[in-house]
Amino acid sequence: MNRKNFEFITTESSLPIEAASTGHDIEWWFYHGFFEGESIPRYYFMVSFFCHNFSENHEIEKNCYSLLFSLLNSETGEHLALSQIDQLYFDEYNSLIQQVSNTVMDPALFELFKYEIKEHGCFEPIKIKKVKADLSRDKLDIRWENFSLEQKENFFRLSFPFGDNGELCSVDLTPGTQRFTYESAVQENNKKGYTTYHCYPNLTLDGTAGNHPVKGRAWMDHQWGEKNKQFILPSNQNEVVGWDWFGISLNDGTYAIFSTLKFIKTGKIIRKRASLLKKNQELEFYSDFIAELLDYWQSPETLTDFPLHWKLEIPEAKLILTFRPIHNNQEIPYFGLERTLWEGAGYVEGTYEGVEVNGLARGEFHGYGFIFDFDEHVEKLVARVERNIREFLPMTITEGTIQTYVGKPTWTNDPDALTAMISKPAWELMLRKGKRWRPVFGIWMKEALGKPAVNYERGVCLSELIHSGSLIIDDIQDQSLLRRGQPTLHQLYGTDVAINAGNTLYFLPSVELVHHKYLNDKQKLRIHEIMMNTFVQSHFGQSMDIYWSKELSEDNLRIWLEDDIESKILQMYDYKTASGPCGLTKILAMLSDSDPLKEKSAIEFTRAFSVAFQLLDDIRNFSSSPKWTKTTGEDMNSGKLTYVIVKAIRSLGQTDKQRLIQIFCNGELRTDKEYHAEALSLIQKSGVLESVKQEAEEMMHKGWEDFALTIPPSEAKIMLHMLCKKLLDLPYEG
């Protein structure tokens, strides 16, 4: 415990001026609290005005501004969050980041991040304000559109948006205790910390929210100092700095601050400090306190794992508290590689010197949003997909499950039979861990189109059931031996069980459609139309595929080669592979109220990517990599007329061409180990594996470029782009 580097400022006459300082990297004014009225439920609010300077010499004309705002309705849990910056902030940050070749973010993702902000601008939901903030230098007076902060003789006046009709909340904040201030000159490894901190932890609030009088309490911080560039663009994952902060108001009149600065990746503590402002106005600092994390919460929007439930203890002061948020989702978007922070209202309870206490608190958890590895980030979303599918199709079907699917029985159901015939074979396949890229693609596509996916997420996830059903049926028709590295379902369970399970998976997602609480009848009808059209297209594609295999002969192949068979194969891929994702995109565009141009570009990109994915699947079919989870050259074995095989036939010289046709068109030869190996060597010799790969990549790139021009920049857009690029490079897994 110590009492160094602090002083009390009395508030009996006029308040000390909290005007802006000069020559600092960063400065901010932070207000949080609550207000309520007779006709207004309790709202918790936070407003933070920031002044930044990225320049080396702190030129005053380089000052730029940002603002964070949140408003939480305690009754409904509705949370409004706003993060805005001015144009100079964006320009300075963009200039800085374009000079960096690599940072802690996944390298490929970082390049897409740089490219997106350079070519398309700031991401949603961050707002760039063309109007600059108006900040006085000789007094505290900040105005930025519908936000303002002004210091009067003995109170602060704060205004911010409230309601949907342009109304404001305007409140006067009067200190009820002395201001305390302390300075920190911490410097470790050439990393300077913040230097000066003013705090009024007890402000009485009076004002209006709209036209309604309100009262409440608030807290004010004013802080400024030096911020190492490592905070903005850390160069080492183990050096990403974040912090956990708690501002606590106990019911016995004590105020507490817990602050931990640490390396996010390793958890190593850089600096920690707690302070208690007691009701007798004594201020004490403690460096020895315990902050024990009890539970995380994962954001459904950013997939960030935030530490929201804590045990806080200062043994010397005999203070033990637990912190819980009032509502979990109080996330605020943040511009830059950090992406997001959690800053919200909570409550504490525990004991202080053996006496039970409780109170209001605010937590701030910063630095948890960095994406160090894109694959790990995707796995978080895949885990959500899995949960949604399991909730809809459990491994053990119960009476309740059956009635959800088909209604009450006339006589008696047999859940055991349905589990054995539907759920067990379906999960046998799905537990083999495909990439689940279709639902992940769909979730990010929905958000890239400008609307949250959360209300429709489970329906999007069930696209995986339809895909799984198609794989089961496709394996039967192709007489495939392996699927995702293990025997196909018709070999394990019999053709009758496999056909029934596969067909059931086509239809089950319609149950979700029927019972969906966010869809009106018109939307349900349109989705049904799209689904039926998708099923017809996919079966048309399968029909073309089967036809070329069944009718394969040297004479027929030569006739087909005289025509533009490549174009027909691509159309078959469009029907068979792309129809499902394209149908999903049509549904998502409708639910996002996308205009015709956005809808068209989204569908065309989905088609381009899906066909490119199939082309690369054709290429991987000839891979001998242990990561390939099917029989190498299976397309050749089964006589499937793929784009790669046709291109190889056209690319070879006359002798090799005739030899490949001879082997390919003869069932005995192409399945003979020696001749099969010869055919594969001819395909390798043709060079088409490289040329078709390039063709697929160009197809996807062209589709993306057209799509990117019509869709505003957003994090989901970047994630979608990254997902597609990774999928075209990853070993095929089903």
Closest CA to 300 of 391, 393, 383, 244: 383
For 571, half-sphere exposure in the C-beta direction (CA atoms, 13 angstrom radius) is 8
For position 56, what pLDDT does the model report?
79
For 399, half-sphere exposure in the C-beta direction (CA atoms, 13 angstrom radius) is 5
Instruction: Give the pLDDT mean for 606-619.
Output: 96
For position 473, what pLDDT does the model report?
97
Q: What are phi and psi of 260, to 5 degrees?
A: -130, 120
Report DSSP letters for 500-511, one per residue. Answer: HHHHHHHHTHHH
Which pair of structure tokens corresponds to residue 281? 């106005």
Decide which of 730 and 407 is more confident: 407
Write down the domain spans for the chain: 6-366, 374-729
Closest CA to 703 of 727, 719, 724, 689: 724
Residue 164 pLDDT > 60, yes or no? yes
Residue 556 pLDDT > 50, yes or no? yes
Instruction: Give the pLDDT mean for 426-446.
Output: 94
CA distance 515 to 513: 6
For position 461, what pLDDT does the model report?
97
CB 154 within 8 A of CB 13: yes
Residue 481 pLDDT > 90, yes or no? no
Let me know if 586 is exposed, middle or buried by CB neighbors in 10 A (0-12, 13-18, 19+).
buried
Q: Is 142 left (phi over 0), alpha (psi -120 to 50) or beta?
A: beta
CATH code given to domain 374-729: 1.10.600.10
Which of the residue ranges 103-107, 327-331, 377-381, 698-702 would you say has the lowest mean pLDDT? 103-107
Q: What is the pLDDT of residues 676-731, one digit of tens each?
A: 999 999 999 999 999 999 999 999 999 999 999 999 999 999 999 999 999 998 55
For the domain made up of 6-366, give the CATH fold: AttH-like fold (2.40.370)
User: Mean pLDDT over all residues of the chain?
Assistant: 92
pLDDT band at 628 (very low <50, low <70, confident <90, very high): very low
Which pair of structure tokens corresponds to residue 223? 């802080």
For 657, half-sphere exposure in the C-beta direction (CA atoms, 13 angstrom radius) is 11
Give the rounded percent of residues in the chain with a pLDDT score beyond 90.
Answer: 82
Instruction: Give the pLDDT mean for 86-110.
Output: 90
Residue 190 pLDDT > 50, yes or no? no
Helix/strand/coil (H, E, C) string of 210-258? CCEEEEEEEEEEEEEECCCHHHCCCCCHHHCEEEEEEEEEECCCCEEEE
Q: What is the pLDDT of residues 205-230, one digit of tens each?
A: 999 999 899 999 999 999 998 876 66
CA distance 670 to 660: 9
Decide which of 97 and 362 is more confident: 362
pLDDT band at 280 (very low <50, low <70, confident <90, very high): confident
Which of the residue ranges 207-211, 292-296, 635-639, 697-701 would you say has the lowest mean pLDDT? 635-639
Decide which of 190 and 125 is more confident: 125
Closest CA to 257 of 305, 215, 317: 317
Instruction: Give the pLDDT mean for 380-397.
Output: 97
For position 13, what pLDDT does the model report?
60
For position 501, what pLDDT does the model report?
98
Report DSSP letters for 410-457, one per residue. Answer: SS---HHHHIIIIIHHHHHHHTT----HHHHHHHHHHHHTTS--GGGH
Residue 508 pLDDT > 80, yes or no? yes
Indicate if the alpha-carbon torsion angle 342, 345, 347, 348 is positive or negative: positive
Q: What is the pLDDT of residues 56-92, one digit of tens each?
A: 777 888 999 999 999 999 999 999 999 999 999 999 9
Which of the residue ranges 5-9, 198-202, 480-484 would you say has the lowest mean pLDDT? 5-9
Which pair of structure tokens corresponds to residue 608? 């381009």
For position 664, what pLDDT does the model report?
97
Residue 236 pLDDT > 90, yes or no? no
Residue 10 pLDDT > 70, yes or no? no
For position 2, what pLDDT does the model report?
45
Q: Which residues pair with 649 in a beta bridge?
A: none
Residue whose structure tokens are 């639910």:
591
Which pair of structure tokens corresponds to residue 39? 């006709």
Instruction: Give the pLDDT mean for 614-619.
Output: 94
Residue 386 pLDDT > 60, yes or no? yes
